[in-house]
Amino acid sequence: MSTQTTDEDSEATGQSDSEAPASSPGERRRAEKRERQTEKARQAAETESDEETVLLKVFRYDPEVEGKREPRFDDFHVPFYKGMTVLDALIYARDTYDSSLTFRHSCRQAICGSDALFINGRQRLGCKTQLSDLDEPVRIEPLPHQDVVKDLVVDMEHFYDQMESVEPYFDPDELPSDDMAEQRQSRENREKIKMSTRCIWCGACMSSCNIAAGDNQYLGPAAINKAYRFAMDEREGDERKEKRMEIMEQEHGVWRCQTQFSCTEVCPKDIPLTEHIQELKREAVKSNLKFW
């Protein structure tokens, strides 16, 4: 139906054969591509068992819309191609079947941290998860332990608050007196903080953590990792580090962690979160011993 409208429009604007041969290779390819796509969508709709399609079961909820106030799961059959990710499948379902299907996404390359989802029972980035690695049907839900705003979108405010509560900014005791001189940092020290600087604020770790689920004030693995990133940076200096350790040792800080490793397992950036938390615990013990 839509294709027809476009055709009419371009005729109306006076397309002449000499300028655009109707069968230019480009046009042919486009027409064929369209045909292929329609064919795929048709097949997808018709045959559930077709091996070229994948069945998604997607969580739906909208507090405002009649029929969506009660959470439910919708089925989408999506044509499969090699290399297709969960995010690609969601985009296909939205653009082809239901434009109100709502999820965050932007970079498509595991760097913006927008699309952490609960896929087949595990926190993963939609864009970094190949459909071919999953069992069917593929069940897609919003991140657990967070308030659902709509469909797959969760409220990230609490996560951001925790991140920002650890004074997550570089704050050195002193800077070189020469404005154009850089601070020195050894390669070893850079290597030490490297993994911790890779966090993309996706929230997967926090969502997987039992402790965070039970204690809303627990800083959580990502915020602690952020603090680690600065506490271990030799450029900041001892005074600042001590202040950072105080934040880590508070009631809802590092000591809450029970070393269950769930955060480390789900982190899409492979940050050794549990190790970082453990190391901060050891640091805390060390600095307390100093005063005894």
Partner 1 sequence: MYEHDVLVVGAGGAGLRAAIAAHEEGADVAMVTKLHPVRSHTGAAEGGINAALHPEDSWELHAYDTMKGSDYLGDAPAIDTFAQDAPEEVIQLEHWGMPFSREDDGKVSQRPFGGLSHPRTTYAGAETGHHLLHTMYEQVVKRGIEVYDEWYVLDLAVTDEDDPSERECHGVVAYDIQTGEIEGFKGRKGTILATGGPGQVFDHTTNAVANTGDGPAMAYRAGVPLEDMEMIQFHPTTLPSTGVLISEGVRGEGGILYNAEKERLMFEHGYANNDGELASRDVVSRAELTEINAGRGIEDEYVHLDMRHLGEERIIDRLENILHLAEDFEGVDGLDEPMPVKPGQHYAMGGIEVDENGESCISGLYAAGECACVSLHGANRLGGNALPELLVFGARAGTDAAGADIGAPEIETGYEAKSEDGDLDSPVELGAVGGTDVAADGGAVTGAASTVEAAVERARERVDSLMDGDGVNHAEVRADIQETMTENVNVFRNEDGLKQALRDIRGAREHYQDVSVHDPSRTYNTDLIQTIETRNIIDLAEAITAGALAREEFRGAHWRQEYQYRDDENWIKHTMLAWNDGDPELYYKPVILEGAEKTYEPKERSY
- Please give the residues from 123 up to 152 whose contact with partner 1 meets the rule CB under 8 A: 127-128, 130, 132, 149-151
If contact means CB under 5 to 8 A according to the sort of partner, which of ligand FES, ligand SF4, partner 1, none does residue 73 touch?
none
Query: Which of 149, 151, 268, 147 lies closest to 202, judged by CA?
Result: 268
Query: Which of 216, 213, 209, 214 lies closest to 277, judged by CA?
Result: 209
If contact means CB under 5 to 8 A according to the sort of partner, which of partner 1, ligand FES, ligand SF4, none does residue 271 touch?
ligand SF4
Tell me the two tokens of residue 249: 């040792």
Site mask, partner 1, residues 162-201, x = CB under 8 A? --x--xxxxxx--x---xxxxxxxxx--x--xx--xx-xx
The number of C-alpha atoms within 13 Å of 66 and in the hemisphere containing its C-beta is: 0
Query: Are the C-beta atoms of residues 94 and 101 closer than 8 Å to each other?
Result: yes
Distance CA 148, CA 159 (A): 13
Q: Which of 84, 112, 134, 213 binds ligand FES (CB under 6 A)?
A: 112
Q: Judged by CB, which is closer to ligand FES: 103, or 228?
A: 103
Q: In the range 248-287, which residues lie near ligand SF4 by CB under 6 A?
A: 266-269, 271, 273
Distance CA 108, CA 112 (A): 8
Q: Judged by CB, which is closer to ligand FES: 93, or 280?
A: 93
Distance of CA 182 to the CA centre of its chain: 34
Collapsing DSSP to helix, strand or coil, 81 comes out as coil
- Residues in contact with ligand FES, total (CB under 6 A)? 13
Give the residues lining the site for ligand SF4 (CB under 6 A): 199-205, 221-222, 225, 266-269, 271, 273
Give the residues lining the site for ligand FES (CB under 6 A): 105-108, 110-115, 125-127
